[in-house]
């Protein structure tokens, strides 16, 4: 098996230390209540949540690190068998509560694993994190960055979370006589909900397990588990669908749904691409091909939605991952010698180096051209879930809008409802054995 000195968000036997950047399911595949492969290092908040997600987890294996403090691990070198020291420091990733990026120094060099992150321009918290990271790197050179490349493609352009949150607040405020349901996951988007709660001076309903998380975060006053005292409810995104909305409107009361996230926010053509004109692309993206209710379709503005996907549903581009511009800023700050993506399942997947090589160390334009040609040659034999597309591609955009339409149809046909999902006392899952994502770049050495 591919063993490593230490592993980050990777739970294969054989490492001497394991790091968890945050507690989303796609980063804990392989972690379970019976974890016993080695010490697990994580942030304090993540450690608080682990027993909720993994009941019976052996807490003696948990090692909580402080954000912004260097620590040393004394390990055994896999190559020489001699003692070897690894230093690490965690930095706020601003992705979800407890999320961190990790900087390591050891015999393997200097390595930065971003985990999932969003560092927005103008965000004070991100600015502090940025400063902290720069201070930790100092004059050192980062040999490799393992990057949250979820939206590492110029087609992904969406506003910061502050703007998106205000859009959501405006939608709710403009529907004063409606109930509102907002789709969220088991962790993340708490700041959005608090912002809504405070702007509208209203408590937000969450399901009981979610309330524990809110309590842990100290948001006692913004949330409730009593449905009768509020018109705004946050529900599992998984249970959020058209049929639910139609059902609520039919048998309960006028209700709108808001999906903070949910769609690829394709807005503009990448620079210097001849394969498709900007006008053509824009037309494709704005065309209401996926809306079956033509009279209800509202075209996107330049900064993006609120977009109406359905009579009762608004989608708003609220993302906990950095957009392309933010990723560029990040790489410019670090200027690593090498860059690897940690997400390989995106249909828009492009090796981060394709767009960002110029921002890294020791790369000249001629090398960029060279690498483009090589990549094109390689694309045809690329494996399983990686779907590299060396240049921007009109076909890709066409497929996207078609599948959006297909997706809406699927939702309409769905026979599942929220009523089934929001059952009380649902077990905390031991393991989510799903997603065959194969993040190559999540181990050291």
Identify any residues that bridge with 7 across adjacent strands, giving them in sequence order: 18, 443
Q: Residues 378, 416, 419, 440: which binds DNA (CB under 7 A)?
A: 416
Give the closest residue to 242 by CA, choosing from 418, 45, 34.
Answer: 418
Nearer to DNA, 320 or 326 (CB): 320
Distance CA 442, CA 213 (A): 27
Q: Does 405 bind DNA (CB under 7 A)?
A: no
Q: How many CB atoms lie within 10 A of CB 363?
A: 16
Q: Which runs of E-coded beta strand occur in 244-335?
A: 255-260, 307-310, 313-316
Q: Does 283 bind DNA (CB under 7 A)?
A: no
In the complex, minimum distance from the CB of residue 241 to DNA, in angstroms, rounded to a whole number? 4
Task: For residue 269, give the DSSP letter.
Answer: P
Q: Residues 320, 326, 351, 445: which binds DNA (CB under 7 A)?
A: 320
Which residues in the 66-105 window bind DNA by CB under 7 A?
A: 95
Q: Residue 108: helix, strand or coil by DSSP?
A: coil
Q: Residue 36: helix, strand or coil by DSSP?
A: coil
Q: Does 214 bind DNA (CB under 7 A)?
A: no
Q: Does 261 bind DNA (CB under 7 A)?
A: yes
Q: Residues 7, 10, 17, 24: which binds DNA (CB under 7 A)?
A: 24
Nearer to DNA, 195 or 239 (CB): 239
The stretch near DNA (CB under 7 A) out of 238-246, 269-277, 298-306, 351-359 is: 238-246
The stretch near DNA (CB under 7 A) out of 279-287, 303-311, 326-334, 344-352 is: 344-352
Q: Does 415 bind DNA (CB under 7 A)?
A: yes
Nearer to DNA, 12 or 200 (CB): 12
Q: Does 345 bind DNA (CB under 7 A)?
A: yes
Distance CA 411, CA 390 (A): 32
Backbone angles phi, psi at 244, to 5 degrees: -55, -45
Give the closest residue to 154 by CA, choosing from 326, 13, 411.
Answer: 326
CA distances from 392 to 283, 322, 360 (A): 16, 20, 22
Backbone angles phi, psi at 410, to 5 degrees: -60, -45
Count of chain residues binding DNA (CB under 7 A): 52
Nearer to DNA, 172 or 266 (CB): 266
The stretch near DNA (CB under 7 A) out of 197-205, 223-231, 351-359, 414-422 is: 414-422
Q: Does 2 bind DNA (CB under 7 A)?
A: no
The stretch near DNA (CB under 7 A) out of 65-73, 105-113, 276-284, 421-429 is: 421-429
Helix residue ranges, H only, 81-189: 124-137, 161-173
Q: Does 441 bind DNA (CB under 7 A)?
A: no
Q: Does 308 bind DNA (CB under 7 A)?
A: no
Q: How many CB atoms lie within 10 A of CB 274?
A: 7
Q: Does 346 bind DNA (CB under 7 A)?
A: yes
Q: Which runs of E-coded beta strand occur in 168-274?
A: 179-184, 204-205, 223-224, 232-236, 255-260
Q: Does 393 bind DNA (CB under 7 A)?
A: no
Task: For residue 26, give the DSSP letter.
Answer: G
Pairing outcome for strands 6-8 and 83-92:
unpaired
- Residue 401 and residue 289 in contact, taking contact as beta carbons nearer than 8 Å: yes
Distance CA 335, CA 329 (A): 10
Nearer to DNA, 55 or 275 (CB): 55
Q: Does 115 bind DNA (CB under 7 A)?
A: no
- Residue 389 and residue 273 in contact, taking contact as beta carbons nearer than 8 Å: no
Q: Residues 187, 276, 309, 339: which binds DNA (CB under 7 A)?
A: 187
In the complex, minimum distance from the CB of residue 385 to DNA, in angstroms, rounded to a whole number? 9
Nearer to DNA, 150 or 255 (CB): 150
Place of tokens 């059952």: 423
Q: Residues 16, 150, 255, 389: which binds DNA (CB under 7 A)?
A: 150
The stretch near DNA (CB under 7 A) out of 27-35, 102-110, 269-277, 356-364 is: 27-35
The residues of the shown chain that bind DNA, judged by CB under 7 A, are 24-26, 30, 32, 34, 95, 116, 150, 185-188, 236-239, 241, 261-264, 320-321, 343, 345-348, 399-400, 402-404, 406-407, 410-411, 413-416, 421, 426, 429-436
């Amino acid at each position: 098996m591919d063993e490593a000195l230490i592993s980050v968000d990777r739970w294969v036997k054989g490492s001497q230390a394991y790091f968890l950047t945050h507690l989303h399911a796609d980063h804990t595949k392989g972690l379970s209540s019976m974890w016993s492969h080695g010490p697990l290092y994580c942030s304090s908040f993540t450690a608080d949540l682990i027993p909720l997600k993994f009941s019976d987890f052996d807490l003696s294996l948990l090692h909580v690190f402080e954000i912004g403090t260097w620590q040393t691990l004394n390990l055994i070198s896999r190559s020489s068998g001699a003692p070897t020291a690894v230093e690490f420091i965690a930095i706020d990733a601003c992705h979800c509560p407890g999320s961190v990026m990790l900087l390591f120094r050891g015999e393997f060099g200097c390595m930065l694993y971003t985990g999932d992150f969003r560092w927005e321009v103008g965000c004070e918290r991100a600015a502090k994190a940025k400063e902290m990271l720069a201070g930790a790197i100092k004059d050192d050179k980062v040999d490799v960055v393992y990057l949250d490349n979820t939206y590492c493609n110029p087609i992904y352009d969406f506003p910061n979370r502050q703007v998106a949150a205000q859009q959501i607040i405006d939608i709710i405020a403009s529907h004063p006589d409606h109930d509102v349901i907002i789709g969220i996951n088991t962790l993340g988007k708490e700041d959005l909900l608090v912002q809504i709660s405070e702007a509208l001076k209203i408590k937000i309903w969450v399901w009981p397990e979610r309330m524990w998380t809110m309590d842990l975060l100290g948001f006692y006053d913004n949330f409730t588990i009593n449905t009768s005292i509020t018109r705004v409810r946050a529900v599992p995104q998984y249970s959020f669908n058209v049929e639910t909305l139609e059902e609520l409107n039919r048998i309960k009361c006028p209700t709108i749904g808001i999906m903070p996230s949910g769609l690829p926010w394709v807005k503009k053509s990448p620079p210097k691409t001849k394969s498709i004109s900007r006008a053509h692309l824009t037309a494709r993206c704005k065309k209401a091909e996926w809306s079956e209710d033509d009279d209800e379709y509202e075209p996107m503005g330049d900064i993006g939605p609120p977009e109406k996907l359905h009579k009762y549903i608004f989608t708003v581009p609220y993302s906990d991952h950095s957009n392309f511009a933010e990723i560029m800023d990040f790489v410019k700050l670090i200027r690593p010698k090498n860059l690897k993506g940690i997400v390989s399942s995106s249909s828009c997947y492009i090796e981060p180096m394709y767009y960002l090589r110029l921002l890294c160390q020791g790369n000249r334009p001629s090398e960029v051209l060279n690498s483009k040609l090589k990549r094109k040659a390689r694309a045809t034999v690329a494996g399983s879930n990686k779907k590299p597309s060396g240049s921007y591609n009109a076909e890709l955009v066409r497929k996207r809008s078609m599948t959006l339409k297909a997706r809406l149809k699927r939702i309409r046909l769905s026979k599942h409802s929220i009523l089934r999902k929001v059952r009380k006392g649902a077990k905390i899952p031991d393991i989510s054995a799903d997603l065959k994502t194969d993040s190559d770049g999540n181990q050291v050495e």
